[in-house]
Copies of this chain bind each other. A is one copy, B any other.
Amino acid sequence: MIIIKLGGSVISDKNTPYSFNREVVEEIAEEIAQFYPKESFILVHGGGSFGHPNAREYKIREGLIGDVKRKRIGFSKTHQAMLKLNNLIIEVFLEKGLPAYSVSSSSIFLIENGEIIYGELEILRKLLEKGFIPVLFGDTAVALEKGIDILSGDQIAGYLAKILRAEKVIFLMDVDGIYDKNPREKGAKLITELTKEGIEHLLESSESAGIDVTGGIGNKLKKALEIAHYSDVYFINGKVKGNLTKVLQGENPGTVIKRW
């Protein structure tokens, strides 16, 4: 089983509210269709310009404090916005003949201190058995310590990889992979293969610099450290046609972390 994490910045333009990169998603669906049903897949997508504006406006990450009435409303609105993005993705997959099936992350996960502490995966397992492609998404979630929180698609992908023992976890991003420094900086080099020590070194050097020099990718690398116990992890550019196909054929068009 292969987990594909569709980054929010791949499927949506973060600067334009409620924008959807339909062509990119169509291309991704077409590439997956070449390998389904021989391979089984779970998709997890991010929030892009659907989830983030709501989550920010209502400060969901603060938890259920302050004006809790307004917070509850915002929590629900954020979930509904995510369902709208999810619906657009599901529709594209169905058009391409792929049996994508929406599973609401907030209906099956409980979190505490930003980590999933409970996940109900029985229905997910059954959907896979029956030949479906479950599609989950970064979402609002009930949080034990502060009432409500945001659960990222990266967290979900990591949790599922661990519990369901995914063969590969493929992160589709809007850059070509992991760089030795922020890819927007001059002279940044793509790292084609990363080891455990390599990731630890990257995280240390970015922390000692007081910034996330790799371009907001620190949390992804921390997640990769966990996932690589079970699965090969790929970071590739999801906007480049053919990249996903390459990974599914065993090639590496970005950065790979082989399971250790």
User: Which A residues fall within an 8 A CB radius of B?
Assistant: 64, 68-69, 72-73, 75-77, 79-80, 83-84, 87, 90-91, 94, 97, 99-104, 106-110, 118, 120, 122-123, 126-127, 130-132, 142, 144, 147-148
Please determine whether B101 and A75 come into contact, CB atoms closer than 8 angstroms.
yes
Task: Identify the closest chain B residue to A132 (Cβ).
Answer: B72
Nearest-CB distance from A164 to chain B (Å)? 16
Contacts of A122 in B (CB 8 A): 110, 118, 120
Please determine whether B103 and A76 come into contact, CB atoms closer than 8 angstroms.
no
Please determine whether A80 and B90 come into contact, CB atoms closer than 8 angstroms.
yes
Q: Which of B69, B97, B103 contacts A107 (CB 8 A)?
A: B103
Nearest-CB distance from A112 to chain B (Å)? 11
Task: Identify the closest chain B residue to A93 (Cβ).
Answer: B76
Contact A80 to B72, CB < 8 A, known contacts A110-B123, A148-B130: no
The copy count of this chain in the complex is 2
Contact A142 to B123, CB < 8 A, known contacts A80-B87, A80-B102, A102-B76: yes
Please determine whether A72 and B103 come into contact, CB atoms closer than 8 angstroms.
no
Q: Which of B83, B99, B102, B123 contacts A72 (CB 8 A)?
A: B99
Contacts of A120 in B (CB 8 A): 107-108, 120, 122-123
A83 to B127, CA, bound (A): 18
Please determine whether B142 and A126 come into contact, CB atoms closer than 8 angstroms.
yes
A97 to B68, CA, bound (A): 12
Q: Which of B73, B77, B91, B107 contacts A123 (CB 8 A)?
A: B107
Contacts of A72 in B (CB 8 A): 99, 101, 130-132
